[in-house]
Amino acid sequence: MVEHGRKMINLNADVAIIGGGPAGLAAAISAHENGAKNVIVLDRNSWLGGILPQCIHDGFGVEETGTSMTGPEYAEMYIKAARKKGINFMNETMVLQFDKNRKIIAVNKKGLHEIKAKSIVLAMGCREKTRWNIMIPGDRPSGIYTAGVAQAFINLYNIMVGKNVVILGSGDVGLIMARRLKFEGANVLGVVEILPYASGLPRNVVQCLDDYDIPLYLNHTVTYVKGKERLESVTIAQVDEKMNIIPGTEREIKCDTLLLSLGLIPENELSKNVKIELDDLTGGPIINQSFETSLSGVFACGNCLQVYDTVDTLSMDAKVAGENAAKKSVKQNKFINVKAGKGIRYVVPQRINEPGKIHFTLRVEKPCESPTLHVISDGIELLKKKLPWANPANTVEFDIDISAEVVKYKDLEVILDD
Amino acid sequence: MTDEKKITCIVCPIGCKILVKIDGKHFELVDGNKCKRGIDYAISEALDPRRMLTSSVLVKNGEWPLVSVKSSKPVPKNKIVSVLNEIKKASVNAPVKSGQVVLNNVADTKIDIVATKSIKK
Amino acid sequence: MKNFHVAIIGGGVIGSAIAWELSKYKVNTVVFEMGSDVASGMTKANSGVIHSGINSATDSLKARFCVEGNKMLQSLSKQLGFPLKMVGKYVIAKNEEETKELERLIKIGEDNEVPGLEIKDGSEVKRKEPNVPCYKALWVPTAGIMQPYEFTIALAENAAINNVNFLLETKVKNIQKKGDNFLIKTNKGEFQSQIIVNAAGLNCGEIVSMLEEPDFNVYPCRGEYLVLDKNYSNLINSMIYPVPPKELGVLGVHITPTIEGNILLGPSAEFIDDAEEKRTTKEMMKTLFNEAKEIIPTLPEKAVINAYSGIRCKLASPKEGGWADYRIEESKQTPGLINLLGIESPGLTGAPAIAKEITRMISKSIELKTKTDFKTRKIIKKRFAEMTAKEQSDLIKKDERYGRIVCRCEHITEAEIIQALSNPIGAQTLSSVKYRCRAGMGRCQGGFCTQHIVRIMEEQFKIDVNKMKLKSPDSNLFDGRTR
């Protein structure tokens, strides 16, 4: 380490990974396995594994390893593997910015660091939507927590958040927290979901709500929060198909805690700073088949790319990103776009610049029984696939061999017929 | 007496709704499963429902105040409350190693409670 | 029992400004604040506008203190270290009819000696404010913006380091006049003082009625606001006001940039029965947005990221039109009781001038000798996030806690959190931290940093988890331990 005029600590890396959660760990291991000798992982927490240590429930790793693990176990498996390979970890280190030449400025208690990286992998994860993402009117009392924050307090810090709890949003975190709070003696008064179906997996509805007789209010939302100091009550109301509140259906529920499980937003402030192109639909960077962003030599994976259903598929994708980061990047001047057509919320990757077998991930717009997936390029159907079912809560994955011919000039469109 | 029961399968993300008939210890599959794994699940769910249990145990003198734990095997549903009560009373001294048994034969279930995380002093 | 020369009731911007002014003299002063921090009532929730003085009738106290305060604020900002920006404002007229209103305002302004007023053509406004179409506009160069809580915190903490006692979470329950002294009963014990300064804001009537029959009523009037994301900060450069509505004695829904780079839409004006009803409503959110869209037609709906409300303290009922002047006077019936009644807008601007006036009034009964050891401390030094790399490196070398970023959205360091929690008035809620160093004010609204701040509160300040609060005495955050 050399100090120069601006008093920076200088480092070099073959691959620098921003974020030491599951995506960063998987990418680091894979980059190392694929020839990158000097891999540095930068993480702002004092621990590794990101959100996993607070996800103490099981169900992780089933698709990937065939056994069901808890979050901390899954994290420990990757941390051990990474340490064995001699990957450098810099904890309690915050990346302040990086530039087009992949020079990273990071800070920790030792001082400012300037890290010159041959490749960068973005693995910053995501943040939770708050009350203000959906503008719930009313008072501003204490007792309103996002589900993940409550999970951290209960599972990591030994702090209980409240006694009588209403949960808004039936995503998996909301469902898991309903059971967790019940286990800790709280009175869980209900889970409120604006959609006509639960957003989380059916198995979580069964083992987190049904098992403990926790009511699920579908087609409902919270319309008002009351409480001058601590939360005193929430008002819930039914909504119609257009999600407008049906007058007269309002009902006040006395409670001291409201947990919000409203969905996740990919964290991309660093990407925005360096003008990496983002996809409005995923909230993450636009990538090609190699997980490379619009900025050459910068790759993206994990929940900052797209919000994954399971850590298994997240890790598998992150390994591909890490592998590519260890190799030389493909010239990006020519590419075709992959468009999300009818019935599709988004598709990843959004761009292709090299032929070959390409793995796609997509999310549908609404639940449907036995729909058909079509991938079309210039009027030619490249793929037609019947799906048993489709649900926005579960990503759909498929592979296509993309020929050099297609990559030359024809955009792809993905559509879903129900 | 015969009971008809609708069981949502929790084996995979699809969540099939499986209809079964139960008559005491006798089990009959009616309809709804999309695969074979569903039958096994429905049988156990109808006759002896069990769940994996995860929670946390107090750590003394550790870098974190809690260690996450799980049951070594699925716990019979009717034993969940008593197992949770034992977990709440328990404590363990740091350091804790992942895989370490924290509670033996918890609530007479012949099931152990095992740490799922390592906690340093 | 503790004896004081002066007891100030209320730690809003008015009470804090008076406390700071008095702290320059050898006088024993106490401030009773029922909230968990200063600036937690009316002061916290307003537009943060430094008014010029074009809106209040000439010869009114409102006009006088506004114009005087406006002149004092810039040097105070430098002295105490709270930021302000003199961004100026446009009052826009949509047609010839409304232009007459601009002429009326210019007349008042000139009578009040407000400099630089000018009526500009729509085309000229468009060059400066491309998103604001209008017929004509009144340009007011001496209007500006600041953060009301930063100003108040700066005043209060400077008063505190000069030995003013701030008693937080202290509610005055009863006052009796005993000879030349007042006996003040609070939830934190009994106190005596020679003079009472009633700066209780919306509760000013309640305080008066402890001693005498009030000859006035307080009419609470709620104002709701919407906050726009920082990404839209370039929608406007100056403040944009409509011509004031005829009724209610308010200025109308206006568009105000903030020091932090957000934009405020509001406030509404709605008379309410209960001064505690500080809430936001779905209906008003819509109305505010639509009214703001009249001013900026291209305003995008997704720009809205937050909402809040505040309550005005009005002495005139809706029937009377809502406009009344301040009443700043010593009670004739109860000598020693100095009342500040109906201090609404432009009270934030007027606060430093009002404080001088109150000090003059106090000096009639108590001899005020200047302190020789009066100290000044800049409240907001440069934030770590705003420093050069060299400054950051040097600072980390001196104190490694500057190298630990706790609030990732605003890049606030552990050292800054600890400073915020070590403030001289002893405010230690989550909001106290937020208002002092911005931790938790960003995109995630505290999602990432709350747990780390809580850990710092617990480990370094030994605050019991059951006593951790969001913002006020009963706004507890937690319910004990899980184990």
Break chain A into its structural domains and give their ranges: 8-126+264-331, 130-262, 334-418
SS3 of residue B44 by DSSP = helix
Nearest to C482 among A110, A141, A158 (CB): A158
The amino acid at residue A304 is C
Residue C465: its chain A contacts at CB < 8 A? Answer: 159
User: In percent, how much of chain A has pLDDT > 70?
Assistant: 97
What is the phi/psi pair of residue C420, to 5°? Answer: -60, -40
The residue to which tokens 């409120």 are assigned: A192
Of A70, A205, A394, the CB nearest to B116: A70
This prediction's pTM? 0.95
Q: Are strands A372-377 and A368-369 parallel, antiparallel or unpaired?
A: unpaired
Chain A, residues 89-118, CB within 8 A of chain C, namely: 92, 94, 96, 105, 107-112
- Residue A379 CA from chain centroid, whole number: 33
pLDDT tier at A4 (50, 70, 90 boundaries)? very low
**pLDDT above 80: residue A3:** no
User: Can you list the alpha helix ranges (DSSP code H) found in C23-120?
Assistant: 61-80, 96-111
How far apart CA C33 and CA C23 sit, in angstroms, is: 17
User: What pLDDT score does A2 carry?
Assistant: 42
pLDDT in tens, A205-247: 999 999 999 999 999 999 999 999 999 999 999 999 999 999 9
A262: Cβ contacts below 8 Å, ≥ 6 apart:
A128, A129, A130, A133, A134, A146, A168, A169, A171
C44, C231, C279, best to mutate vs chain A, most A CBs in 10 Å: C279
- Best to test chain B binding among A63, A155, A160 (most B CBs inside 10 Å): A155
Q: Does C483 touch chain B (CB under 8 A)?
A: yes
pLDDT in tens, C446-460: 888 999 999 999 999
> β-strands A351-352, A336-340: how paired?
antiparallel
List all residues of chain B from 50 to 89 with a beta carbon under 8 Å from chain C.
56-58, 65-66, 88
pLDDT the model gives residue A160 = 98
Contact A313, A394 (CB under 8 A): no
Q: Which residues of B touch A (CB under 8 A)?
A: 8-15, 34, 51-52, 54-56, 58, 64-66, 68-70, 77, 84, 98, 116-118
d(CA A50, CA A36): 23
Asked if residue C307 belongs to a domain, the reply is: yes
C481 in a structural domain: no
Q: Is residue C458 part of a domain?
A: yes
For residue range B68-88, what is the model confidence (pLDDT) as tens digits?
Answer: 999 999 999 999 999 999 999
| Closest to A96 (Cα-Cα) out of A7, A204, A18, A25 | A18
* Whether A142 and C392 lie within 8 Å, measured CB to CB: no
Distance CA A269, CA A98 (A): 11
Confidence band (pLDDT; 50, 70, 90) for A404? confident
Residue located via tokens 């709270």? C82
Chain A residue with the nearest C-alpha to that of C36 = A229
CA of C483 to nearest chain B CA: how many angstroms apart?
6
pLDDT above 90: percentage of residues in chain C: 90
Least Cα distance to A95 among A264, A277, A267 occurs for A267
**Taking CB atoms and an 8 Å limit, are A157 and C454 in contact across chains?**
yes
Using the CB atoms, write b or e for C457-481: b if 16+ within 10 Å: beeeeebebeebbbbbbebbbbbee
Return the number of other C-beta atoms located less than 10 Å from residue A356's C-beta.
Answer: 13
Band of residue B1 on the pLDDT scale cut at 50, 70, 90: low
Q: Under a CB-based contact definition with an 8 Å cutoff, are residues A35 and A12 in contact?
A: no
Instruction: Give the whole-angstrom CA distance, residue C253 versus residue C264.
Output: 10
**CB contacts, 8 Å: C482 with chain A:** 154, 158-160, 184
What total of structural domains would you count in chain C? 4
Instruction: Sort C161 into a burial class: Cβ within 10 Å, 0-12 / 13-18 / 19+.
Output: middle
Residue with tokens 């709500």: A209
Cross-strand partners of C321: none
Contact check, Cβ <8 Å, A211/B14: no
* C378 lies in some domain: no
Tally the residues of chain C. 483
Residues 6+ apart with CB under 8 A from B47: B22, B25, B27
A112 and C278 in contact by Cβ < 8 A?
no
Q: What are phi and psi of A200, to 5 degrees?
A: -85, 180
Half-sphere exposure of B118 (CA within 13 A, CB side): 11
| pLDDT single digits (tens) C205-252 | 999 999 999 999 999 999 999 999 998 999 999 999 999 987 667 788
Per DSSP, what are the bridge partners of residue A10?
Answer: A114
Question: C307 and C188 in one domain?
Answer: no
Residue A304 has, within 13 A of its CA and on its CB side, a CA count of 29
Active-site choice (C51, C254, C411, C452)? C51
Closest CB from A138, A149, A152 relative to C280: A138
What's the whole-number mean pLDDT along residues B11-15? 73
CA distance C221 to chain B (A): 48
Picking from A72, A155, A388, the nearest residue to B34 by CB comes out as: A388
Q: Residue C337 gets which letter from DSSP?
A: E
- A342–chain B Cβ distance below 8 A for any pair: no
Q: Which residues of B touch A52 (CB under 8 A)?
A: none
pLDDT band, residue A6 (cuts 50/70/90): low
Type of residue at A396:
V
Q: Do domains A130-262 and A334-418 have the same CATH topology?
A: no
Q: Where would I find the H helices in chain B?
A: 37-47, 80-89
Neighbouring subunits of C (3+ Cβ pairs under 8 A): A, B
Structure tokens at C135: 């017929």
Interface of A with C in 151-190 (CB under 8 A): 152-154, 156-163, 184
Q: Looking at beta carbons, which residues of chain A come within 8 Å of B44?
A: none
Q: Do B117 and A68 touch (CB under 8 A)?
A: no
Q: Is the pLDDT confidence value at A312 over 50?
A: yes
Which token pair is A414? 């993905």
Q: How far apart are CA C108 and CA C354, in angstroms?
A: 21
A383 forms beta bridges with A375
Overall residue count recorded for chain A in this entry: 418
The reply to whether CATH 2.60.40 applies to domain A334-418 is yes
Greatest extent of chain A over all pairs of C-alpha atoms, in Å? 69
* Whether A183 contacts chain B with CB within 8 A: yes
Fold held by B54-115: CPE0013-like fold (3.10.530)
Q: What is the mean pLDDT of residues B22-45?
A: 82
Asked whether residue C389 falls in the same domain as residue C462, the answer is yes
Residue C21 has pLDDT above 70, yes or no: yes
Chain A residues in contact with B10 by the CB 8 A cut-off are: 202-203, 206-207
Q: Which chains form contacts with chain A, at 3 or more CB pairs under 8 Å? A: B, C
In the 8-state DSSP scheme, what is residue A254?
E
Contact A107 C405 (CB under 8 A): yes
Structure token digits, residue C26? 């050898």
Cβ(A51)–Cβ(C451) below 8 Å: no
Which CATH code, of 3.50.50.60, 3.40.50.150, 3.40.50.10190, 3.40.50.300, is assigned to A8-126+264-331? 3.50.50.60
Q: Is the pLDDT of residue A332 over 70?
A: no
In the residue annotation, C51 being an active-site residue is answered as yes
Residue of A nearest to C388 (CA): A6
Cβ atoms of A397 and A359 within 8 Å: the answer is yes
Show residues of chain B in contact with A207, CB under 8 Å. 10, 51
Beta strand pairing status for A39-42 and C239-242?
unpaired
Instruction: Centre a 10 Å sphere on the Cβ of residue A318 and count the other Cβ atoms it contains.
Output: 32
pLDDT in tens, A342-396: 999 999 999 999 899 999 999 999 888 899 999 999 888 999 999 988 888 889 9
State how far the Cα of C152 lies from the Cα of C167, in Å rounded to an integer: 15
Q: What is the pLDDT of residue A1?
A: 39
Q: What is the dihedral of CA C351, C353, C358, C359, to 10 degrees?
A: 120
**Closest-CA residue in chain C for B66?**
C483
Instruction: Provide the residue ranges of all domains of chain B, joining segments of one domain with +.
Output: 3-48, 54-115
The rounded distance, in Å, linking the Cα atoms of A348 and A359 is 9
Q: How long, in residues, is chain B?
A: 121
| pLDDT at res. A201 | 84
Q: Cβ A158–C480 below 8 Å, yes or no?
A: no
C480 CB within 8 Å of a chain B CB: no
What is the chain A residue with the closest CA to B77?
A211
Q: Do C475 and A137 touch (CB under 8 A)?
A: no
Q: Which residues of A touch B8 (CB under 8 A)?
A: 202-203, 205-206, 210
Q: Do A111 and C393 touch (CB under 8 A)?
A: yes
b/e map of C336-366 (b: 16 or more CB within 10 Å)?
bbbbbbbbbbbbbbbbbbbbbbbbeebeeeb
Q: How many angstroms separate the CA atoms of A25 and A91, rounded?
A: 13
Structure-block tokens of residue A277: 């192109």
Tell me the pairing of strands A298-300 and A144-146. Answer: unpaired
Contact A41, A26 (CB under 8 A): no
| Distance, CA of A177 to CA of A262 (rounded, Å) | 13
Distances from the Cα of A141 to the Cα of A49, A234, A298, C477, C478, angstroms: 32, 11, 42, 10, 13
Residue to substitute from A67, A73, A74, A389, interface B, most B β-carbons within 10 A: A73
Assigned CATH class of A130-262: alpha beta
| Greater pLDDT, B34 or A33 | A33
Q: Which residues on C lie below 8 Å from B88 (Cβ)?
A: 483
For residue C45, the distance in angstroms to the closest alpha carbon of chain A comes to: 12
- Measured between CB atoms, does B116 come within 8 Å of chain C? no
Q: What are phi and psi of C7, to 5 degrees?
A: -115, 120
Q: Is the pLDDT of residue C397 over 60?
A: yes
The greatest distance separating any two alpha carbons of chain C, rounded to the nearest whole angstrom, comes to: 71
ipTM value greater than 0.90: yes
Pairing of strands A164-168, A187-192: parallel
Range of the domain at C337: 2-43+149-217+323-363
Sheet holding B3-8, edge to edge: B3-8, B17-23, B26-31
| Residue C107 pLDDT level (bands cut at 50, 70, 90) | very high
Determine whether the interchain pair A7/C400 forms a contact, defined as Cβ–Cβ distance below 8 Å.
Answer: no
The residue among A154, A48, A92 whose CA lies nearest residue C406 is A92
